[in-house]
Amino acid sequence: MEDKQIIDSLKGLKEGPKKKFKQTIDLIINLKNLDLKKPDEQVDTFLLLPRPKGKKTRVCALVGPELLDQAKKSMDSFVAQSDFENFQKNKGKAKNLAESADFFVAQANIMPKIATTFGRVFGPRGKMPNPKAGCIVAPNANLEAVNEKLQSTVRLLAKKQLIIQTIVGNEESPDEDVKENVKAIYNSLMHSLPQGNNNIKSVYLKYTMGKPVKLV
């Protein structure tokens, strides 16, 4: 993918009508020649973007006493182990929690309890703490560093449909930042898809409320 392709597509996005809110920019990649019934042809990976992704990532920590003080200071929200029972008894409360954060960070030595308490609600929503994203941490972890890393982390997921959609910036992001994020995602997929470029049908950039602009 050439730099000029991306920059030209960004110009196309900006020609649309302005909204009263700051729109994000999504990268949409349509896939082909993959059988998603086969686990080895599914896509599920996490990528650390080289530039800011243009939107705050909400992170919630599920912790024991060892990380509780850090969680209070470093995370957007937290649930202490001593409060797990309240969520296990109240499925609605667990559902609200699942929707309140983009990533959940879990203290490793209480992971079995976390799975028992939140698994039924978080699992179907793809919100269980994921080791691929660095979301299962030791009791002596630095939660501030974990949160900082997750601010630049995106998930590339195609398990049920042949499409990947993820944020790469917002309408105020410098073109250079968006370009570098797009290239990082595209190049990562090239290395992870079974047939590389032959598994990519088309690529678009899109504002939140705008029409897609074709890249490839």
DSSP string computed for the chain: --HHHHHHHHHHHHTSPP-SS--EEEEEEEE-S--TTSGGG-EEEEEE-SS--SSPPPEEEEE-TTTHHHHHHHSSEEEEGGGHHHHHH-HHHHHHHHHH-SEEEEEGGGHHHHHHHHHHHHGGGT-S--GGGT-EE-TT--HHHHHHHHTTEEEEEESSSSEEEEEEEETTS-HHHHHHHHHHHHHHHHHHSTTGGGGEEEEEEEETTS--EE--
pLDDT band of residue 187 (cuts 50, 70, 90) is very high
* The total number of structural domains that make up the chain: 2
Q: The domain that contains 43 carries what CATH number?
A: 3.30.190.20
Q: Which domain holds residue 123?
A: 59-150
Among 122, 150, 178, give the residue marking a domain's end. 150
Among 150, 179, 203, give the residue marking a domain's end. 150
Q: What is the pLDDT of residue 94?
A: 96
Q: What is the pLDDT of residue 174?
A: 95
- Condensed to tens digits (0 to 9), the pLDDT of residues 120-165 reads 999 999 999 999 999 999 999 999 999 999 999 999 999 999 999 9
> What is the pTM (predicted TM-score) of this model?
0.90
Check whether residue 166 and residue 129 sit in a common domain.
no
Q: What is the pLDDT of residue 20?
A: 81
Check whether residue 194 and residue 130 sit in a common domain.
no
pLDDT band of residue 81 (cuts 50, 70, 90) is very high
pLDDT exceeds 80 at position 82: yes
Q: What is the pLDDT of residue 57?
A: 97
Check whether residue 49 and residue 79 sit in a common domain.
no
- Condensed to tens digits (0 to 9), the pLDDT of residues 4-57 reads 899 999 988 877 777 888 899 999 999 999 999 999 999 999 999 999 999 999
Check whether residue 68 and residue 101 sit in a common domain.
yes
